[in-house]
Structure 1
Amino acid sequence: MPESTIPEILDGGLRLIQADVSNALDLVDDGSVQLALTSPPYNLRKIYERDRAMSLEEYVDWLTPVVDKICKKITTSGSVCWQVGNFLRDGEVFPLDYYFYNMFASRNFKLRNRIIWKFNFGLHATKRLSGRYETLLWFTKSDEYLFNLDPIRVPQLYPGKRHAARKGEAKAGKPSGNPLGKNPSDFWTFSADDCFSENPIWEIPNVKANHPEYTSHPCQFPHELAERCVLAFSKVGDVVLDPFVGAGTTAIAAIKADRVAIGIDRSKEYVDLTHQRVKALRAGTLELRRSGIEVRKPLADEKVSQVPGEWSEAAE
């Protein structure tokens, strides 16, 4: 498709390109993107994948040249955050991060963290344990990469803890923690009280029917996940790219943080959806789950917490 025929939406700091990802990436300047943040299709026969059902080998072959183009778009200090789950074939699990690690590493990108995103809902398996996490691979193009820790710090568990009072040591008796908070680590949750105390995991609720960010897209990831990456790996005015923009979560996080957003999707429906949601963000009407709050757990006296009578009867 000639460049002049590729539909685009330009709206302030937002650029949306409706085209096949490989063609669209040709419209993005090499070395111009500080952060590429995306969740590519998993080839799981979702509604937006049904016209291109592929074997695992075909899937890897399809995305290999896409990864190659993305790598060329990244600045010297830039990063790629690649969020994936698993591919299933005849009941066997293939962890997709394994395949993508090799793609990026072979292009001299360096893996800085393999981040675990834990969520609480999903399909229940019957012949294996139910999957409740996905991974986010953070790669950098060089050793001179941008990393902003302060905007993503979390509360200290023991703010009153002090260095041991050893004679002659300058830190003896002084507070041992950082007053701004601690590093959230690579195993994240968004509970400032309980979860960070023992198991710092990225426990962010996935976007289901009762989630405030729910849209028509069947596999959107939550704003909190995108926001933390945008704040940590880019700065104000930087370009943030999502080559599979879907419901626009990355674009929303980028615009909200005063970055420039480029989104690519071959679906006009999702390009329009992203534009609508960004316009709602700017108008102050877009509903987002507030970042940093604990995943809600039902109270003991709530109906959903009660053991059904049918279960008790069946056990007798």
Structure 2
Amino acid sequence: MKVLIGGYTKNASEGIYSLPFSDQDEQARLGQAKNIIKIAGPTYFQKDGDLLFAIDKPNDQEGGISVFKLSNERYEKVDTFLTPGSSPAYVGINPQKHLLYTANYHTGIISVFRYNEAGKLTLLDTDTHTAKTLGPRPEQVDGAHPHFFDETPAGNLVCCDLGNDTVDFYRLNADNKLEHLATYHNEAGFGTRHIVFSKDGHYFYVAGELSSKINVVKFDENSWEFENIATYSTIPVDWDQHNSAAAIRISSDGRFIYVSNRGNDTLTVFAVKSDHTLKLIQRISVFGEFPRDFNWDKSEKYVVVANQNTNNATLYLRNSEDGMLTPIQHDIAVPEGTRVVFD
């Protein structure tokens, strides 16, 4: 097993790095990072077998997605789709349908692509978010900012818009066109960033980047009725410095939620109670600064967080019974990391 980490390439990073991983419980370790794909700004990427889909920012004029295929232990570029302006901030994927979803924070555009076995991309449709319910914070007043675009439990599509403080739902119809279905509004200034869903598909949990909060919402994916259940802070009540929440994940059994805090520089862990409300059970250091992304292996036994500003990663052992994280290795050198994938 290995861990892939990509991120910004503003300083020392050359793209995407691979770190060998040894699975030995408390003695598990990540090895030295090795650059495996030279690419500009792969701040998010997804994998499907031997295919890797990465954000690419080759120059100041355009950005988009590049596709790489693993052959003879080397990744070779097989396709690129670029558009004028900034590159996307998020890439979602459905390997079964061979569909790829991107959200562009700066241009406001969400896109759906199809890809074939060789990794060739075909753009199916796009939608452009506009300034409808912009929040009051400085990061919101300049327009819509889609930060997430992926699938719901029922196979619809969902987009988190940081600028508008909204969660927007779509359907990809038989003609491969996006149809808007419904909108849920977070509180003004929430900074809607990323979302996860309960195991039963009747609740979702939204991470607010600008508010450092998680909003728990009950919803019906047929009638599109929403019920705001509760909101929780991801940082201590006495924290008075800057913080922005980033990645959010829910364990496959639906019992625990994890979120990263950039500023407070922690991972916050919540237990999901029987009524889907949350209980804070842990807040643990990331042993670095600005943890944008973290991820776990298929067993969800090991967690790796990448710290963008301190060029390091941290490895934790996760207890599946109580959800708690135990750090077992830190100060793992990797430059400018913003995305973590176990491979």
TM-score bracket for the superposition, by shorter chain length: 0.3 to 0.5
| TM-score using structure 2 length | 0.30
Structure with bigger RCO (C-alpha 8 Å, 6+ apart): 1
Which has a greater percent of helix? 1
Bigger fraction of residues in strand: 2
The alignment's TM-score, normalised by the length of structure 1, stands at: 0.32
